[in-house]
Amino acid sequence: MEYGCIGEKLRHSFSKEIHARIGAYGYELKELAPQDVEAFLREKDFKGINVTIPYKETVLPYLDEISDEARAVGAVNTVVNRDGKLCGYNTDVAGMTALIRRIGVSLAGKKVLVTGTGGTSKTAVAVAKALGASEVVRLSRTAREDAVTYDQAAERHADAAFLINATPCGMFPHPFETPLDLTRFPALEGVADAVYNPLRTKLVLTAQSRGLAAEGGLYMLVAQAVESARLFFGKPFDEGLTDAIFRDVYREKRNVVLIGMPGSGKTTVGRLLAERANLKFVDTDELIRRRERREVAAIIRERGEREFRQIESMAVCELALTNGSVIATGGGAVLIPNNVTALKMNGEVWFLERAVAELKPTSDRPLSDSRDKLNALWGEREPLYRAAADFVARVTDDPEDALSQILNGGNA
């Protein structure tokens, strides 16, 4: 290959799509087993590569030259083949610096926590110091190298102002994991997470719910890719390229999630939106019907609402971890907090609000088959819809009204 990325598991990488937006050059994803890395590097059959988990330190002995920055960090994520000489760089430094600046919390004179002891954590330490942190503390489960354990960090460094997650914790396919409990660090002002898939990890969502400035690693990924391309081709790119690519990739990868009462128009509006925005339409109730080979109403009547909610949660979490979809949820999906968390990881959540007087009881919805039941459901769920929603679209008899609000109001 000419250009590409090597790593152990790359099925969910966004790098190929990002480099396709940088320029017209071939870029491949190449998964390598640990025992194959040496042979690949010794063959030198490439012009430029990115290196990701877990090989950012593995590649070091096979390089002919290492930049001062990469040597200081102790990790390489970009290798350029210059006439048979392999030259190593660390463009993650530029990427993480760009991410922290985007978050908008100054690190000058502040204590910073960095989770992990791998190559990305070394980058995070170097960036925090370069941005003026007064103290940088590394955290790991086993206190290896110069790190402290998470419990020790909570006891000794609860005054930390910023956290950088440099571990894979929270990465697909284990999105509900978090590296630490934010409540133990009450002085935090911001959180940067190097994980970009999902777009917002549980750690980022928790930080945002606590009013902290926080963002996942997609912007870092794009910024380091642009810097890598500069090294590949020996030329600078337009200053606004990183922002433009980030917006495009975010819009392509994010889901639009529709929540609301039964009969509020989620399926109708969702289908129209998917068609208009060139996204895939998926429906949690439809997935349940296919899996269970029964209508939702029949499942509730025969097995009870509690068991149905368990089935629904599995469907919600599965669809929530996809990308580029319009997801119509069942009216009660917001009753389970984990469902809301899952939907927010890759999605912007829209509450389709329709006046309860305009909603109609129907016999195929056993939980809202009478006016009294419908009104009671509204009283129970309306606060949950508002709490879960990133945006609200008001629904009328014309679904184009809600569609217009979503298309005009949900940009990144």
Catalytic residues: 56
Decide: 312 and 268 in contact? Cβ < 8 Å.
no
- Residue 234 CB neighbours (<10 A): 8
- Residue 17 CB neighbours (<10 A): 15
Q: How many residues does the chain have?
A: 412
Query: What string of H, E and C letters represents the secondary structure of 212-276?
Result: CEEECCHHHHHHHHHHHHHHHHCCCCCCCHHHHHHHHHHHHHCEEEEECCCCCCHHHHHHHHHHH
Partners of 165 in beta bridges: 115, 193
State phi, psi for 277 to the nearest 5 degrees. Answer: -95, 5
How far from 60 is each of 71, 118, 202, 256, CA to CA, in Å? 9, 14, 33, 42
What is the C-alpha separation between 406 and 392, in angstroms, rounded?
9
DSSP letter at 59 equals: T
End-to-end distance of the chain based on CA atoms, in angstroms? Answer: 34
What is the DSSP code string of 104-122? T---TT-EEEEE-SSHHHH
Say whether the peptide bond before residue 186 is cis (omega within 30 degrees of 0).
no
Sheet-wide strand order for 3-7:
27-31, 3-7, 48-51, 78-82, 85-89, 65-66
DSSP letter at 312 equals: H
Instruction: Please report which helix (H) or strand (E) contains residue 282, including its range.
Output: strand 280-283
Helix, strand or coil, per DSSP, at residue 156: helix
